[in-house]
Structure 1
Amino acid sequence: MTQTHDETVRTRPDTATAVPVDEPAQPDRIRRPADAIRFAASLLGLAAVLLLVSIAQQTTHGLQSDIAEGTAHAPRFLLSLATMASSFGVLAVPVAFSIERLFHKDGTRVAIALLAAVIAFGLTYVLDGWVISAAPGGVLDSLIWGGTDTALVHTDITPVIAFVSAVGMAGRVRWQAATWTMIGLAALTGLTAAYASVAALVATYFLGRAIGHGTLYAVGTPNPRPAASAVVAALERIGLRPASARRLPGGAHGDADDPRRYGVTVRHDPDAPAEDGTGKELPRAEWQLEVRVLDRDQQPAGLLYRVWRLLRLRGAAPGRALRSLRRSLEQESLMAYAVAACGARTPRLVGTSEVGVDAALLAYAYVPGRRLNAVDDGELTDGLLRDVWRQFQRLQEARLAHRRLQGDAVLVGDDGLAYITDLRAGEIAAGDLVLRLDLAQLLTTLALRAGPERAVATAAAVLGEDALAAAVPLLQRVALSRATRAALRHDKELLTRIREQIVALEPETEVAPVRVERFKPRTIVSIVALTVAAYIVFPQVSSVDFQQLVSSASWWWVLVALFAAGVTYLAAAWMLMGFVPERLSLGRTVLVQVAASFVKLVAPAAVGGVAMNTRYLQRSGVRPGPAVASVGASQLMGMITHILLLIVFGFITGSTTTATQDLAPSRTMVVVLLALGLVAAVALTIPRVRRAVAARMKSMFSGVVPRLVDVLQSPKKLATGMGGTLLLTVAFVVCLDSCVRAFGGSLHWTAVVVVFLTANALGSAAPTPGGLGAVEGALTLALTISGLTAETAASAVLLYRLLTLWLPVLPGWAAFAYLQRKEAI
């Protein structure tokens, strides 16, 4: 709803004097972030119920049986009384509450709640009309378990739950108690009458909540934010005498949770009129107060981002992601008094007050000036920067953390002095890490405006070089605020230049970054990938009879597979040695490859081996640049060989299925290659993707090509490297084929090659340690498609991964420890 900006005159309820209030007309309805969060949480709860009943069907069935047996012995009189009370009260209580709300002129909220109830009724009617024959054996069967008359969801109470969720009973304890008591009795009646199961009732609760909050967010809730007249009245109650008020544009940062701000003039003489006898407003000075209004509905704004920072960073996020209105008011007030007490310059907090039940205000003495972001470059003198650092130094000495030292948190007054503002996220008695993060944040903020040279120089002049050096390990993008990270996209080398300036002043500064992340986003991807892989692999594993597996396996083929798995380490050593012109010890290089099998468990397959080999070459006397180039050359040739083998054997596999044996290409392989080529071509039409690929290829070939030229001058080295590359593939194929034959399976050798090459490519691309999950899923699926039974394929894959991934872990750990002790890695 679009409203025009108009100036209105409102009267304080406790006086007869009109106070001019300049404020845009507020919308009748708003969409609250809290409703969206509750809607998402309800959907997650519903999904959790469906997941639980799908993996624990026996438990849910047993719980239902226990409840049925328990209620069978309950007095029939009490059950009948509960049934009668719930049948009447489950509708009577919400109706009574609606009438009460209508008397208080809250009909809009009641209408929205009725809409949610209608939607819930329609949806539950459709769900209960579901064809039950589709349910047995699955999630629906677990939900409706209890008899043929059992419903998927409780139709009687779902609309009531949706109504209650949408109408809003916060702060009305008696109404809440009465309503949920009736809902609980109705649920108990459904259980005793076998109308609904426990799982269905829990699903009913989450479904009703989701519909209620979803409807409330989609339609919008009546605006609970108090108008400026209520703010003026609250100022009157704390002893101030407003003469006029004006809504100021935007918040301090433009964030979703920024508070409303008002400029207010006050009369020092409470008897002085605001107007003369003609109604003309008397001339007055600039605003004396800046009033910040905290609205309850804005408190959850940005919650997901704060939760993410709280979980991801160590000590870099506030202790609570969601604070109540009262706690937010108390925290900002405490910080304002603490900052003023430590001697740092900040607008004086004049008073605080609640504004009804849905808002609170903080009145600050108005300081005319501009935010640091709005100050012209020519006005950013070294004197001003040093003054900013002096205010920051007082905060640090008092162990006060600001947490939002962005450009808008520093006010440059008309008197040329710096003021620290926006204290809502601050923290008293802060720890060392949080204080150092504040230092890193302010360094970056000032460097973005004045350049890293001036920011570091002025900071060193005030704080000292030793104190400044503490920020170097924390100059990381992840540790900075969201707005600062966005600004750094336009100057990606700024943090590096800040570090260089500090190191130039203090050469002994520790440069290694401090780990502030509990986990990286890649960890989340790994967990999701492992979950999906477990969903694919576990059903295959559960179908394997391990006792029969051990007794029926052909141990001759198991020994062949074990030998082939051991050959892979010799092949990997030759592969690396062939692309290193310097002389390497074969025994120690093989030992490094064994140690890499241990590192696979803590790093993706394509990363662990590269890092291990690079470190080994550097310890062997190869300079860092050539060491990286040598490992890159071996990986590049391995990738090219892998792709060529996959294409060649894909064509051969297609020909072996025809009667003519005419080397006709596999139709599936042709389709796959064409699809990959089309995707690559479309991607390269995007300028950003094209530049990224070009930069990556340039960085790869700039060091690899000269290294390959050196290798080409030595036929022996070239033969060693290419021979190791081919032997590595042959050894893995022999190992996989032997595992298949160990359980009575048999495939054409070309099919085994294609299966291995495909699974290995997926394992290298997967972000999980050792390609865990991706390799198992790909191998099992590919072997099954190739003609093996599911049990044989699963057994062969288990044995293959046991020999190539799990069995080498203990020897790999021993080799890793030995090489570390010898300082070889």
Structure 2
Amino acid sequence: MRVDGREITVSGSLLQPLTRRTNDILRVVLSGLFLAIVIFSSLITRNEWVALEQSISQIVGVLTPTQANLVYIGYGIALLALPFVILVGLIVSRQWKLLGAYGATAAIAGLALSVTGEGLAAPRWHFDLSERLDSVTSQFVDDPRWIAMLAAVLTVSGPWLPARWRRWWWTLLLAFVPVHLVISAIVPARSLFGLAVGWFVGALVVLAVGTPGLEVPLDGAVRAMARRGCIVSALTVVRPAGAGPLQLLATCEGHQTAAVMELYGPHQRGGGVLRQLWSKVRLRDRETAPLHASMRRLVEHRALMAIAIGQLGLANTSTISVAALDRGWTLYAHTPARGTPINEHSMPVGRVWEALRELHDCQISHGDLRSSEITVADDTVLFGGFDKAEYGTTDAQLRSDIAQLLVTTTDLYDAPSAVRAAIDAFGKDTVLAASRRLTKAAVPQPIRQSVRDAGAVISEARDEVKRQTLVDEIRTETVTRFTRSQIIQLVLLIALVYVAYPFLSSVPTFVTELRTANWWWALVGLAASGLTYIGAAASLWACADGLVTLRGLTVMQVANKFAATTTPAGVGGLALSARYLQKGGVSPMRATTAVALQQSVQVLTHIGLLIFFSTAAGVSADLDRFVPDAAVLYLVAGLALGLIGTFLLVPKLRRWLSTAVRPRLQEMIGHLTELAREPKRLAIIVAGCAATTLGNAFALWAAIEAFGGDTSFITVTVVTMVGGTLASAAPTPGGVGAVEAALIGGLAAFGMPAAVAVPAVLLYRVLTIWLPVFAGWQVMRWMTKNGRI
């Protein structure tokens, strides 16, 4: 390479690999949205668009019929020649590899619009020139297949050719819209559809085959280095451009050491912006740094942070130059990293933590404390990277640094020495607060990927912090605005509200029906609801070996109703039960085991009762209407078998089953085995769990009798247990919406009219949920005030 009269040797390949840029992904998304909009407008709002086009044509359509024909014929000839011009352009620019993608894209787009219910429909081009706009060229302009082929080949060839050609060709293709308006014609919906299909097909092909990077402006980079006193004599490619920058090693004349040149291409900007926006959306404000408007600002920030940290003597690189180059490239040049990696050095772990403390004393956070970004030179710990470093940072980012270094040093050294050094450098309270971030969500993915077993290392560090700070539990800190489970719950909640709305809208009817209800039966249902608290208290009392009083547990169950109903899946009730047992003198491990044992027996009892009463209901009632069709059952069975096969074949899922699920199942089976050796205790637990299920069923049966319904207790029990199963699976607190819909639908399946089923179910929910919730709130406040929970 020759720059300003000097010959510079370039070693290595500058040819950038095909990459799937962020622009390619966005193109697919936008083309898909455009296709959906075209389909929607064609099917629903086409008449309005035709009226609008007619009114516009009357204003701008000033051409005579002869002039309109000439314009249309000329435009049609240009559009007919366009694909051949593109083909010649590809051949002239010697884009031989693109010719296959060019032909495949055109074929896919054309065939996609040629498929009909009777097979492939060939174009019907003819040469009848008797009509005003019925010419050979108009047949191509109005044929959606031709438009689709043009849009597809333009899309797939655009990234390979000069921008000027691409802009002119797209302008020519899209001109069919104003041309139709000028000649007082309506834009054919099929042409717009062909344009949308062609763009979408071309975008998919571009995403599949990848696009080339732009030519690297090495001459500009060499001149920028010369302005900083580094006269480059040779360049060696260290890493080609791709997901990261193009990295070169420059040999400077008259300098002892070389310089590292990092060139960031224009196609990397989109991905960086999207990652920043995603972090802003996903993480809380205190967790994220200000947005960088461009790649240049991001590179400048990194260079300035290297200068600031270098003044403290803690940076392993020094900034040489930052410059904006031609064609959207940005140069960041710095000295090579000094020292040896920390994982190859026997530096004491305390020195690493002291270096981080020096950074934090100046209110600087690093943000990426992987072992690869930490080096040792002359017995001094140095940091590199600085992509995520911040000056004047927040306390949350400082705590994140401590959590990251806990993970890294635990992996490099061991947990006891790493935690001990962290406490010596920052203090017990600071380390304890930072350890709340030792979770998968709070530890950044690059840090987790840099250690041997992220889950085990994080757990080891948390356990060691608990041991050295003498705390029983470290409460997890929430760093995200939302979690995956919350998104799923929101989607399910919207679906459940949609399903349950017709039933909830009948509340005014329920108020009217209450005037005709038999209140004695309502009192019987309320008493049956109270039986469930005694049963739950008795089962938990037996699971805890009678270490707490049965009376206290019964009172606690009332408060438990409030805690379980106001939290999804009843997790609040489980936590309250464990907390009450701990306050009663039961150890935390024993309390958790007792609650888990009760839930396990409750599930098994529920399943046993469901099988028993379903069998009884099948004999005494028409259960066929309540059972799905055989096709649905086969589909569910097939999906279940497929899911089991997936878990057994995928190594990661199989490892999760063996490391996370199997130990818990073995523990539960062990507890149940020990319980089977104590028949008296087992009988109390099973009886209590059965009382809980049957008490709810009896309450619903009483509510049905209150409104004059006539059905058997067996039928009501089956419906109640199905509703209880939905309540445990529904993401809404207390299963609101899902339970009502399931109970009303179940009663209707057994032939009960809606005039009885709807008010009976609503009365049942009032007796078993809403009245106990208000009472449980007061009981919970009383227990909190008296220190019982």
Q: TM bucket by the smaller chain? A: 0.7 to 0.9
Correspondence for 1:533 among 484, 487, 496 = 496
Q: Matched residues in 2 for 1:816 and 1:180: separation? A: 71
Alignment CA distance shift 1:615-1:508 (3 Å): closer
| Matched positions, count | 743
Say if 2:296 is the partner of 1:330: no
Instruction: Give me the TM-score of the superposition, normalised by structure 1.
Output: 0.73
The equivalent residue for 1:222 is 212
- Distance apart, 1:490 and its partner CA: 2.9
- Per the alignment, residue 680 of structure 2 pairs with 712
Task: Give the aligned partner of residue 724 of structure 2.
Answer: 760
Query: Does 1:105 pair with 2:93?
Result: yes
669-678 or 451-460, larger mean C-alpha shift: 669-678
Shift of residue 351, structure 1, vs aligned partner: 0.7
Shift of 1:406: 0.5
Q: Which amino acid aligns with 1:372?
A: I
Other-structure match for 1:248:
238
Distance 1:360 1:470 in 2: 40
Summarize the Cα distance change of 1:476–1:219 in structure 2 as closer, same or farther, 3 Å threshold: closer
Which structure 2 segments of 5+ residues have no match? 120-142, 624-628
Q: TM-score, normalised by structure 2?
A: 0.76
**1:402 Cα deviation after fit:** 1.9
The counterpart of 2:4, out of the listed 10, 14, 17, is: 14
8 A Cα contact 2:13 2:237, kept in partner: yes
1:31 corresponds in structure 2 to 20
CA distance in 2, matches of 1:488, 1:689: 22
Residues 591-740 of structure 1 mapped to structure 2, 5 A cutoff: 592-600=556-564, 602-656=566-620, 689-690=657-658, 692-700=660-668, 712=680, 719=684, 721-737=685-701
C-alpha separation in 2, matches of 1:206 and 1:611: 54
Residue of structure 2 aligned with 1:419, choices 369, 382, 387: 382
Match of 2:326 among 350, 356, 360: 356
Q: Which residue number in structure 1 is paired with residue 60 of structure 2?
A: 78
Query: Which residue pairs with 2:252 in the alignment?
Result: 266
CA pair 732-105 structure 1, distance change in 2 beyond 3 A: same
Question: Is this contact kept in 2: 1:568–1:727, CA < 8 A?
Answer: no
Is residue 816 from structure 1 mapped to residue 780 from structure 2 by the alignment?
yes
Q: 2:549 aligns with which of 579, 584, 591?
A: 584
**1:450 aligned partner:** 413
Distance 1:579 1:492, change over 3 A: same
Matched, 1:314 2:314: no
Aligned-pair distance for 1:312? 3.5
Look up the SS of the partner of 1:425 in the other structure.
coil
Greater displacement, 290-299 / 205-214: 205-214
Say which of 480, 500, 512 aligns to 1:517: 480
Return the structure number with greater helix share.
Answer: 2
Q: Which residue of 2 aligns with 1:275?
A: none
Alpha-carbon separation, structure 1, partners of 2:695 and 2:277: 48
User: Which residue identity lines up with residue 15 of structure 1 in the other structure?
Assistant: G
Deviations 1:781-803 (CA, angstroms, capped at 9, x unpaired): 65555556789877766665565
State how far apart, in whole Å, the 2-side matches of 1:798 and 1:194 are: 56
Cα gap change, 1:338 to 1:597, in 2 (>3 Å): same
What pairs with 1:118-133 in structure 2 (closer than 5 Å)?
119-120=108-109, 122-124=111-113, 126=115
* Aligned residues of 1:316 and 1:479 also touching (Cα < 8 A): no
Note if contact 2:287-2:396 (Cα within 8 Å) is conserved in structure 1. Answer: no
Does the 8 Å CA contact 2:234/2:252 hold for their aligned counterparts? yes
CA displacement at 1:404 relative to structure 2: 1.0
Superposition deviation, residue 241 in structure 1:
1.9
For the pair 1:571 / 2:536, whether they are aligned, the reply is no
| Aligned sequence identity (%) | 24
Distance change in 2, residues 1:598/1:329 (3 Å): same
Query: Following the alignment from structure 2 to structure 1, what is the Cα–Cα distance between the partners of residues 588 and 290?
Result: 45
* Partners of 2:208 and 2:245 in 1: CA distance: 23
Q: Tell whether the 8 Å contact from 2:250 to 2:260 is kept in structure 1 after alignment.
A: yes
* Cα separation, 1, equivalents of 2:50 and 2:225: 60
* Whole-angstrom CA distance in 2 between matches of 1:90 and 1:735: 78
Quick one: distance in 2 between partners of 1:262 and 1:437? 32
Partner of 1:290: 260
For the residues of structure 1 that align with 2:787 and 2:203, how far apart are their CA atoms? 61
Counterpart CA distance in 2 for 1:314 and 1:394 is: 26
* Post-superposition CA distance 1:625-669 (Å, at most 9, x none): 44333333332322221111122223223334699xxxxxx9999
Cα deviation code 1:144-192 (max 9, x no counterpart): xxxxxxxxx9888766665665525998798699579847748989999
**AA aligned opposite 1:262:** L
Quickly say closer, same or farther: Cα 1:786–1:38, change in 2 above 3 A: farther
Matched-pair contact (CA < 8 Å) for 2:14–2:237? no
Deviates more, 1:559-568 or 1:756-765: 559-568
- Check 1:678–1:564 CA distance in 2 against 1; reply closer, same or farther (3 A cut): farther
Q: Secondary structure in 1 aligned to 2:549?
A: coil
Offset at residue 217 of structure 1 (A): 0.8
Residues 565, 262 of structure 1: CA spacing in aligned structure 2 closer, same or farther, 3 A cutoff? farther
> Is the aligned partner of 1:365 residue 2:335?
yes
**Kindly tell me: are residues 188 and 328 of structure 1, through their superposed partners in 2, closer, same or farther at Cα, counting changes over 3 Å?**
farther
Query: Partners in 2 of 1:745 and 1:187 — Cα distance?
Result: 69
Secondary structure in 1 matching 2:316:
coil
Helix, strand or coil at the partner of 2:575:
helix
Q: Any idea what SS the aligned residue of 2:233 has?
A: strand
Structure 2 distance, partners of 1:331, 1:86, is 54
Alignment partners' CA distance in 1, 2:642 and 2:556: 38
Go from structure 1 to structure 2 and tell me whether the alpha carbon gap of 1:25 and 1:338 turns closer, same or farther (over 3 Å shift). Answer: closer
Distance 2:686 2:18 in 1: 70
- The residue type equivalent to 1:219 in the other structure is V
**Which ranges of structure 1 fall in alignment gaps of 5 or more residues?**
1-10, 131-152, 270-284, 660-665
Query: Structure 1 residues 239, 703: CA separation in 2 closer, same or farther (over 3 Å shift)?
Result: same
Equivalences for residues 109-258 of structure 1 within 5 A: 119-120=108-109, 122-124=111-113, 126=115, 166=156, 167=158, 182=175, 185=178, 193=186, 196=189, 210-224=200-214, 226=216, 232=222, 235-236=225-226, 240-249=230-239, 257-258=243-244
**Deviation of the 1:32 alpha carbon:** 2.2
Per-residue deviation, 1:347: 0.9
CA distance in 2, matches of 1:495, 1:64: 58
Aligned twin of 1:6: none
Is this contact kept in 1: 2:563–2:572, CA < 8 A?
A: yes
The answer on 1:441 being equivalent to 2:429 is no
Q: 1:406 aligns with which of 359, 363, 370?
A: 370
CA gap 1:170/1:340 in 2 versus in 1, 3 angstroms: farther
Change (3 A) 1:603 1:99: same
Counterpart CA distance in 2 for 1:557 and 1:79 is 77
Distance change in 2, residues 1:185/1:554 (3 Å): farther
Tell me the distance in 2 between the aligned counterparts of 1:648 and 1:819.
39
Cα shift readout 1:538-558 (whole Å, capped 9, x = no counterpart): 5x549x766666657894379
Looking at structure 2, the residues matched to 559 and 115 of structure 1 have their Cα atoms a distance apart, in angstroms, of 78
RMSD: 5.3
CA contact (8 A) 2:246 2:264 kept: yes
Please name the residue that 2:139 is paired with.
none
Q: In the aligned structure 2, how far is the partner of 1:186 from the partner of 1:591?
A: 80
**Partners of 2:507 and 2:292 in 1: how far apart?**
50
CA distance in 2, matches of 1:709, 1:43: 63
Give 1:677 shift: 10
Secondary structure in structure 2 of the residue aligned to 1:296: coil
Asked if residue 432 in structure 1 is aligned to residue 395 in structure 2, the reply is yes
Distance 1:562 1:34, change over 3 A: farther
